């Protein structure tokens, strides 16, 4: 359903409504370029979440929470615990030992590469940090990639329409 | 004068011989002699002679004072009561059985298994420890093995779907490389969203959405469906590719706008911002348009703000 025509129409409608709601198209507001860009990005994300369903997937819930926060960085207050620092130091030492030691077998290296790529993927997909299971992470990535492709298509359509309307 | 000893009579002597016969036979059997004497005896007597005679049980004095004194002054009496004898140590085979097949699982379960092995002692013969034997090909029927296999199959299926989704990834083999391609694809899509939001921000912000509605309906009509192998109904629009020229234009646009914004934070409205003939569209729920915008009401006349808020 994510890449279907109905989904794209719902996404486009939500995007236009979001642009009007956030005052991007209002004549009274004089917004700077960066403010306008941020408002368009937030409107596009909100339209994507609404078209997909707010509670359908983990990434949509995370994006909804981020848009409600206004894309502010969450400040994790408080001191960093001694345990965390110790773990980081030990991890570094372990990494140095592995680098200095002999090269492992191909299977070990491949497994390490997969682990590293999975960690990167968790950082890319919204809400992926809380996913420990690789199977669920791949499912979320699949859903997110399809929805993101539809969002890109809709935004390209809108840009093309605006350029044709106002050359 | 000769003293002649009185010779016994024959009958007397003959009468004594059969009386002494059993004792002599018993002596001969006791000394390990022949069984010829037993053969001449009747069956009941032979059985009695062959069976060991049970000795009578020793009788102890019934007086408790005597018993206490004997126990106190006995040479075998120890000053402290002796502890019970320790259980016999388990053999090497039993010890090997008690050790789990996988150390990781035993560590997860805790120390209870080791303590239980010591307490059981010889009871391990009755309940032998579970030794995991690896099944042959196609014979893994353990529930954990089945769950792991189902999980692996699900991961492989999703990897195949992601391979088909990412362009040019079907040739790539290897999980790490496929994941790398997926990461690149998702990151490129996220960058495209950023770029398109920048382009939308660079375009005239007050657009006549009522007029754009018809254009969008015609554009949406030109969208062609694409049947994917993965079963997902993906639709693609023939867009101009954002290649090197697009990136170059984007950089030029960024430089122009960012320098302008930084140099003049409070810019006066530009020429197209001062126009009065363009008005924001009014959303109407009762419209025949595709996206719900009333084309007739997007002119100079405006609806009240309260009605607009309720409709939004």
Whose CA is closest to A151, among A39, A40, A8?
Answer: A8
Opening angle at CA A59, ends B180 and A20, nearest 5: 115
Query: What dihedral angle (degrees, nearest 10) is formed by the CA atoms of A114, A120, A123, A128?
Result: -10
Q: What is the pLDDT of residue B11?
A: 52
**Is B299 near chain A, with CB under 8 Å?**
no
| Tokens, residue A165 | 């309307």
Per the listing, tokens 């009958």 go with: B11
Q: What is the pLDDT of residue B288?
A: 38
What is chain A's Cα-based Rg? 21
Burial class (CB in 10 A: 0-12, 13-18, 19+), B66: exposed
pLDDT, average across residues A23-30: 55
Q: What is the pLDDT of residue B84?
A: 56
Residue of B nearest to A1 (CA): B233
DSSP string, chain B: -PPPPPPPPHHHHHHHHHHHHHHHHHHHHHTT--SHHHHHS-HHHHHHHHSPPPPPPPPPP--HHHHHHHHHS-TT--SSPPPPPPPPPPPHHHHHHHS-S-HHHHHHH-THHHHHHHHHGGGGTTS---------TT----HHHHHHHHHHHHHHHHHHHHHHHSTT-SS--SHHHHHHHHHHHHHHHHHHHHHHHHHHHHS-SS--HHHHHHHHHHHHHT-EEEE-TTS-EEEE--PPP--HHHHHHHHHHHHHHHHHHHH-SSPPP-TTTS-SS-----B-SS--SSSSB-STTSSS----HHHHHHH-
Q: What is the DSSP letter of A94?
A: H
**Is B109 near chain A, with CB under 8 Å?**
no
**Is A34 near chain B, with CB under 8 Å?**
yes
Distance CA B179, CA B196 (A): 26
Question: Using a CB-CB distance cutoff of 8 angstroms, which residues of chain B are in contact with residue A17?
Answer: 283, 312
Task: Give the confidence band of A128 by pLDDT, cuts at 50, 70, 90.
Answer: confident
**Residue A35 clears pLDDT 50, i.e. is over it:** yes
**Residue A108 clears pLDDT 70, i.e. is over it:** yes
Domain boundaries, chain A: 4-95+151-165
pLDDT tens-digit readout, A58-96: 788 777 787 666 544 444 444 456 666 766 667 655 555
Distance CA B98, CA B114 (A): 8
In order along its 312 residues, chain B shows pLDDT tens digits of: 444 555 554 455 445 455 545 544 444 444 455 556 666 767 776 676 666 655 566 665 666 766 676 666 655 555 555 555 555 555 444 444 444 444 444 444 444 444 444 444 444 455 556 555 556 556 566 677 778 778 778 888 888 788 878 888 777 778 888 888 889 889 889 888 888 888 788 775 545 445 555 555 555 554 434 333 333 333 333 333 344 444 445 445 444 444 444 444 444 444 344 444 444 444 433 433 334 334 344 344 444 555 545 554
- In A125-144, the residues whose Cβ lies within 8 Å of chain B are 125, 134-135, 138-139, 141-142, 144
- In A91-120, the residues whose Cβ lies within 8 Å of chain B are 110, 113-114, 117-118, 120
A151: helix, strand or coil:
helix
Whose CA is closest to B184, among B196, B201, B172?
Answer: B172
Q: What is the pLDDT of residue B264?
A: 42
Opening angle at CA B238, ends B236 and B241, nearest 5: 110
**Is B302 near chain A, with CB under 8 Å?**
no
**Is A158 near chain B, with CB under 8 Å?**
yes
For A166, which of B161, B201, B203 is closest by C-beta distance? B203
Q: What is the pLDDT of residue A13?
A: 77
Percentage, residues of chain A above pLDDT 70: 65
Residue of B nearest to A32 (CA): B261
**Is B130 near chain A, with CB under 8 Å?**
no
The answer to whether A125 and A59 have CB atoms below 8 angstroms apart is yes
**Residue A97 clears pLDDT 80, i.e. is over it:** no
**Is A69 near chain B, with CB under 8 Å?**
no
Distance CA A114, CA A111 (A): 5
Phi, psi of B32 (to 5 degrees): 85, 25
Q: What is the pLDDT of residue B137?
A: 59
**Residue A14 clears pLDDT 70, i.e. is over it:** yes
């Amino acid at each position: 359903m994510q890449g279907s025509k109905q989904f794209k129409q719902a996404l486009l409608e939500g995007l236009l409504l979001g642009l009007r709601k956030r005052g991007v198209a209002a004549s009274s507001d004089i917004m700077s370029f960066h403010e306008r860009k941020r408002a368009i990005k937030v409107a596009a994300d909100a339209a994507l979440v609404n078209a997909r369903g707010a509670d359908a997937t983990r990434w949509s819930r995370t994006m909804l929470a981020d848009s409600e926060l206004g894309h502010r960085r969450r400040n994790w207050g408080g001191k960093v615990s001694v345990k965390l620092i110790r773990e980081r130091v030990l991890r570094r030492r372990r990494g140095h030992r592995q680098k200095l030691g002999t090269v492992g077998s191909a299977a070990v290296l491949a497994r390490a590469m997969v682990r590293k790529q999975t960690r990167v993927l968790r950082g890319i997909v919204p809400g992926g940090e809380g996913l420990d299971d690789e199977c669920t992470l791949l499912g979320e990535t699949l859903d997110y990639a399809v929805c993101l492709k539809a969002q890109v298509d809709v935004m390209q359509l809108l840009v093309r329409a605006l350029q044709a309307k106002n050359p | 004068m000769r003293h002649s000893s009185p010779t016994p009579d024959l009958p007397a002597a003959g009468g004594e011989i059969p009386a002494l016969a059993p004792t002599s036979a018993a002596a001969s059997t006791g000394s390990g002699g022949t069984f010829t004497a037993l053969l001449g005896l009747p069956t009941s007597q032979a059985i009695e002679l062959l069976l060991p005679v049970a000795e009578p049980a020793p009788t102890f004095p019934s007086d408790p004072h005597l018993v206490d004194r004997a126990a106190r002054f006995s040479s075998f009496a120890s000053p402290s009561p002796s502890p019970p004898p320790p259980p016999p140590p388990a053999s090497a085979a039993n010890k090997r059985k008690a050790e789990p097949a996988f150390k990781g699982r035993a560590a997860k379960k805790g120390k209870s298994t080791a303590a239980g092995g010591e307490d059981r002692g010889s009871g391990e013969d009755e309940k032998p420890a579970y030794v995991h034997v690896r099944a042959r090909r196609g014979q893994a029927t353990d529930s954990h093995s089945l769950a792991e296999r189902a999980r692996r199959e699900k991961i492989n299926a999703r990897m195949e779907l992601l391979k088909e989704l990412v362009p040019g990834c079907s040739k790539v083999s290897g999980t790490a490389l496929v994941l790398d391609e997926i990461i690149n694809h998702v990151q490129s899509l996220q960058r495209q969203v950023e770029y398109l939001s920048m382009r939308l921000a660079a375009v005239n912000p007050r657009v006549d959405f009522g007029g754009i509605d018809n254009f969008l309906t015609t554009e949406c009509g030109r969208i062609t469906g694409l049947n994917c192998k993965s079963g997902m109904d993906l639709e693609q629009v023939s867009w101009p590719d954002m290649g090197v020229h697009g990136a170059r234009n984007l950089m030029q646009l960024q430089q122009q706008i960012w320098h302008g914004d930084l140099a003049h934070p409070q810019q006066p409205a530009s020429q197209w911002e001062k126009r009065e003939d363009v008005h924001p569209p009014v959303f109407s729920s009762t419209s025949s348009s595709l996206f719900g915008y009333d084309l007739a009401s997007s002119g100079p006349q405006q609806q009240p703000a309260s009605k607009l808020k309720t409709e939004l």
